């Protein structure tokens, strides 16, 4: 069973790259380009991991962090953004405050090798947790 990844990114070229790398790491991906679309899909589907751009048109990715907390999302959240370093780490602090599993931010232009390794680790860990839960039943 492949893991499910939600990619929230408003730049088509970045969305395409993220989807390709995620597929190589063992994820099925759903891509959305706005805060509103992210809210819609999060209401109706389960995801094992989320990647999040902080700059989504006129809205901020931090709104998505708030929604993930409301939904009690416990999967990994990868912030991938071209925002200033202080903005990236402020978002990391916000995610931690909201008790989300936010990984250290990745900056654009993205290091594709690092992203692939990180997603593979997340997929492996998620698979392991799924097996442990199944064995406990």
Q: Give per-residue pLDDT as tens, 33-73.
A: 999 999 999 999 999 999 999 998 888 899 999 999 999 99
Residue 102, beta-bridge partner list: 77
* pLDDT profile of the chain (137 residues), mean per 10: 92 94 95 96 96 91 95 95 89 95 92 95 90 82
* pTM of the predicted model as reported, rounded to 2 decimal places: 0.92
Q: What is the pLDDT of residue 1?
A: 66
Nearest to 27 by CA among 106, 123, 137, 128: 123
CA distance 107 to 69: 23
CATH classification code of 3-135: 3.40.50.2300
């Amino acid at each position: 069973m492949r893991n499910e990844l939600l990619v929230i990114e408003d730049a088509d070229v970045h969305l395409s790259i993220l989807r390709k790398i995620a597929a190589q790491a063992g994820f099925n991906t759903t891509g959305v380009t706005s805060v509103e679309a992210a809210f819609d899909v999060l209401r109706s589907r389960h995801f094992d991991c989320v990647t999040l751009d902080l700059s989504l048109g006129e809205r901020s990715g931090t709104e998505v962090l708030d929604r993930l907390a409301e939904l009690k999302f416990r999967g990994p959240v990868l912030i991938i953004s071209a925002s200033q370093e202080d903005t990236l780490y402020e978002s990391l602090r916000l995610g931690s405050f909201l008790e989300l599993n936010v990984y250290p931010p990745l900056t654009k232009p993205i290091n594709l090798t690092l992203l692939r390794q990180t997603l593979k680790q997340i997929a492996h860990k998620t698979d392991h947790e799924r097996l442990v839960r199944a064995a406990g039943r």
